[in-house]
């Protein structure tokens, strides 16, 4: 079973390692900062490119399918194009 580490978005604050204890899954997490909202189009693309794709790249020929909601960060052309280019089928 494939487990993807957390992608945590901090609202309006820089992330500091002191915000979380050492050990566990949190150390493998990716931390991002959004100064406007919790998630935006840039972070949506960063998640797809720097987080989801590398962690699910076991077989480049096999399709991967993240389950997403209708948030605008999931349906911008840049994210959709990236998903098509890397055989990622968004559900």
Paired with 8 in beta bridges are 31
pLDDT on residue 66:
86
61 or 20: which leads in pLDDT: 61
Domain locations in the chain as residue ranges: 7-85
DSSP 32: E
10: pLDDT strictly greater than 80: no
7: pLDDT strictly greater than 70: yes
| All residues at 6 or more sequence positions from 78 whose CB lies less than 8 Å from its CB, including other chains | 41, 45
CA distance 62 to 13: 37
CA distance 55 to 26: 15
Rg (CA), the chain: 14
């Amino acid at each position: 079973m494939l487990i993807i580490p957390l992608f945590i978005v901090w609202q309006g604050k820089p992330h500091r390692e002191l915000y979380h204890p050492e050990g566990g899954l949190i150390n493998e997490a990716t931390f991002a900062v959004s100064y406007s909202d919790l998630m935006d189009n840039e972070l949506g693309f960063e998640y797809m490119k720097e987080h989801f794709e590398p962690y699910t790249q076991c077989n480049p020929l096999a399709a991967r399918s993240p389950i997403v909601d209708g948030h605008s960060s999931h349906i911008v052309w840049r994210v959709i194009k990236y998903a098509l280019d890397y055989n990622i089928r968004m559900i």
